[in-house]
Chains A and B, each alone.
Chain A
Amino acid sequence: MFETTSINKKNITQQKLVRIGLGTMTGILILPVALILGTLIYKGAPMISFEFLFTGPTKGMTAGGIFPALLGTVLLVLVALLASVPLGVAAAIYLSEYAPDNWFTRSINLAIINLAGVPSIVHALFGVGAFVIFFGFGTSILAASLTLAIMTLPVVIVATRESLQAVPMSFREACWNMGATRWQTIRRVVLPNAVTGILTGVILEVSRTAGETAPIMFTGAAFFLPLLPQGVLDQTMALSLHLFVVSTQVPNMPEQLPFGVALVLISMVLLMNSLSIALRMYLRGKKKW
């Protein structure tokens, strides 16, 4: 009754070919990157040691470790989070719980998209013009971290807004019916149900912030400093800028050292991202509604 006609056969062959073709394209996209990462690990792994991670550079940065850069990146990320997480969560609460659907909210959303799309070097120029010069912070951790905070604000806003909106409307309605105000509802019902989702966004932001180079080049990160920073108004070294410096600015650099720095940086970033993905999957598995 259902005989395979020639036109059917042709369609089936065509479909198989398309499937193989698109699969190959996906592979071509992923394979070179896998090879590149393999090379990074192969050449960088011998560099990694306790000494490399916990001592400072010596001999004009051609030897020694990366500790000041590692510490600097941690400091930059922490200060940036202190500024961007409260602001980003507030923005997301406004957009998810209060904002009416009108042109004004649409322009906020457009501004968020643009904030994420503005080139990182333009953020750097803004950081120089606003924080370093206008507010008089000088080139400092504070100026660099605030520049990073504004640049990565959209990551927190988008992740938080999504996890707030994933809390079912009926939860809020039940709470309102008990006579609770909007804020009581948000604090007691909406936020507790969204907190893990917000956390995935914050971890993603840590990863983004740690990897950025251009925004901190002129706002607070230095090529080399003999001393560790003593406060937020000091300059600092940073891992991402350190990779740029050791791979382009220093003569007689041993070939292996930049690979070691690159491997530490990329491990840090990918670890953060994996953590965020794992948390998200755990959350999806746990969800009862």
Chain B
Amino acid sequence: MSEKMAQTAAGAGSDFDRLTLDWYIDKLVQALVFIGGISAIVFIIGIFVFISREGFGFLLGEFNFKEFFFSPNWRPTSETKETFGILALVAGTASVTGLAMLIAIPFSLGAAIFIAEFASGKTREFLKITVELLAAIPSVVWGFIGLAIMNPIIIETFDVPVGLNVLNAGVILGLMAAPIMTSIAEDALNAVPDPYREAAEAMGATRWQVIYKVVLPAAKNGLLGAVLLGVGRGFGETMAVLMATGHSINIPTSVFDSVRALTATIAAELGETAAGSPHYQALFTIGIFLFVITFIINLAADLVVRGVKKG
């Protein structure tokens, strides 16, 4: 009997040895996946550090706060006096993003309400898949559509000499941002618990009354988050605005004016500058500016959406 117990103990002992090895593997894997886990933070910090590293010389030397933000003159290659003012570029980005949101916000929220609250069964599944596929169209294809399809349509319809302008880019960007905003907004509506709807329906409310008085107020923050993410997306879009805005420096006075966006300026000019020159560094400084703005927008969207989960 005691012999048997000793055997079991010995067996258990060797068993523990094996477990020790497994225990070490377990710890090793935990360390490895932790590295994966923190990689996103490392990359975000890395992006900021490496862009700053290239743009830093400009910030210390040529950078003039007043000129940079308040001068409409972007003349980085002027022989007499180089001027680095991004006001016109900001105006270009803002006008295109503004028009895009004017189109995308009502339509995407409307579509989200329709898909989440009215459509059912096959229709709903079809619409959801369509929206998902629309969101996947690459931005360079949208830019090409602006160039090759929208451009002649605008020239013909409005009898203007150039069809690459705020209107073209705004519509393209609106169509581009709408599917993403629709699916995020739809998620926000789906997150409203069904008992809310049932309670309202039990009181005799119609479907629309339920949506208007109960669902929308409850999903308010999620919807706001969807709008913010759409704004961020429009703001940072590069290829489509490069190809559809006409790319001329301008503070627009009508939707038929050609403009140039911040992102498009970097894309168009970085290839032509010498590394380390003030022009090159100024483009990286615009990059820092874009990074900071989108960071703030994303942070705001995250805080707003989290507000919904707590409440």
Q: Are A36 and B236 in contact (CB under 8 A)?
A: no
Smallest CB gap from A86: residue in B: B36
Task: Kindly state whether residue B95 has any CB partner on chain A within 8 Å.
Answer: no
Residues of A73-100 at the interface with B, using a CB-CB cut-off of 8 Å, are 86-95, 97-99
Task: Kindly state whether residue B26 has any CB partner on chain A within 8 Å.
Answer: yes
Q: Are B299 and A110 in contact (CB under 8 A)?
A: yes
Answer whether A125 and B36 are a contact pair too, CB < 8 Å, given A26-B110, A266-B141: no
Contacts of B182 in A (CB 8 A): 29
Q: Are B35 and A90 in contact (CB under 8 A)?
A: yes
Binary contact readout B279-311 vs A (1 if CB under 8 angstroms, 0 otherwise): 000011001001100110111011000000000
Q: Are B41 and A107 in contact (CB under 8 A)?
A: yes
Q: Are A98 and B33 in contact (CB under 8 A)?
A: yes
Binary contact readout B243-256 vs A (1 if CB under 8 angstroms, 0 otherwise): 10000000000000
Consensus secondary structure, chain A interface = helix
Task: Kindly state whether residue A231 has any CB partner on chain B within 8 Å.
Answer: no
B57 to chain A, nearest CB (A): 12
- A47 CA / B183 CA spacing, docked (Å): 34
B50, B206, B208, B233: which contacts A134 (Cβ < 8 A)? B50
B107, B207, B271: which contacts A15 (Cβ < 8 A)? B207
Q: Are B267 and A217 in contact (CB under 8 A)?
A: yes
Q: Are A94 and B239 in contact (CB under 8 A)?
A: no
- A197 CA / B217 CA spacing, docked (Å): 33
Contacts of B46 in A (CB 8 A): 126, 130
Which of B1-9, B61-69, B74-82, B126-134 touches A? B126-134
- A255 CA / B148 CA spacing, docked (Å): 9
Contacts of B207 in A (CB 8 A): 15, 19
Smallest CB gap from B270: residue in A: A218
Smallest CB gap from A110: residue in B: B302
Contacts of A269 in B (CB 8 A): 136-138
Q: Are A273 and B47 in contact (CB under 8 A)?
A: no
Q: Are A36 and B302 in contact (CB under 8 A)?
A: no
- A28 CA / B291 CA spacing, docked (Å): 33
Q: Are A117 and B37 in contact (CB under 8 A)?
A: no
Q: Please classify how large the interface on chain A is, using the bins under 10, 10 to 19, 20 to 34, 35 or more.
A: 35 or more
Smallest CB gap from B47: residue in A: A126
- A19 CA / B123 CA spacing, docked (Å): 14
Q: Are A118 and B47 in contact (CB under 8 A)?
A: yes
B27 to chain A, nearest CB (A): 9
Which of B83-91, B111-119, B191-199 touches A? B111-119
- A94 CA / B34 CA spacing, docked (Å): 6
A14, A122, A181, A273: which contacts B132 (Cβ < 8 A)? A273
Residues of B211-265 at the interface with A, using a CB-CB cut-off of 8 Å, are 229, 232-233, 235-239, 243, 263
Task: Kindly state whether residue A56 has any CB partner on chain B within 8 Å.
Answer: no
List the count of A-B residue pairs having beta carbons below 8 Å apart.
268
Task: Kindly state whether residue A182 has any CB partner on chain B within 8 Å.
Answer: yes
Task: Kindly state whether residue B32 has any CB partner on chain A within 8 Å.
Answer: yes
The number of residues on chain B lying at the interface, defined by a beta carbon within 8 Å of a beta carbon of chain A, is 88
A250 to chain B, nearest CB (A): 13
- A223 CA / B174 CA spacing, docked (Å): 29
Smallest CB gap from A107: residue in B: B41
Answer whether A25 and B110 are a contact pair too, CB < 8 Å, given A129-B53, A181-B26, A182-B30: yes
B40, B53, B129, B295: which contacts A112 (Cβ < 8 A)? B40
Give the residue among A19, A33, A134 with the most B Cβ atoms within 10 A: A33
Binary contact readout A252-279 vs B (1 if CB under 8 angstroms, 0 otherwise): 0001001100100110011001100100
B118 to chain A, nearest CB (A): 5
Q: Are A125 and B238 in contact (CB under 8 A)?
A: no
Task: Kindly state whether residue B51 has any CB partner on chain A within 8 Å.
Answer: yes
- A157 CA / B36 CA spacing, docked (Å): 10
What are 29 sample pairs from A and B whose C-beta atoms fall under 8 A apart? A11-B206, A11-B209, A15-B206, A15-B209, A19-B114, A29-B107, A88-B36, A89-B36, A90-B33, A91-B40, A94-B33, A94-B37, A98-B33, A108-B38, A108-B40, A110-B302, A111-B43, A117-B295, A119-B238, A119-B294, A125-B284, A153-B40, A213-B138, A243-B140, A244-B143, A248-B243, A266-B138, A269-B137, A270-B136
B interface residues (Cβ-Cβ under 8 A, vs A):
19, 22-23, 25-26, 29-30, 32-41, 43-44, 46-47, 50-51, 53-54, 106-108, 110-111, 113-115, 118, 127, 129-134, 136-141, 143-145, 147-149, 175, 178-179, 182, 206-209, 229, 232-233, 235-239, 243, 263, 266-267, 270-271, 275, 283-284, 287, 290-291, 294-295, 297-299, 301-302
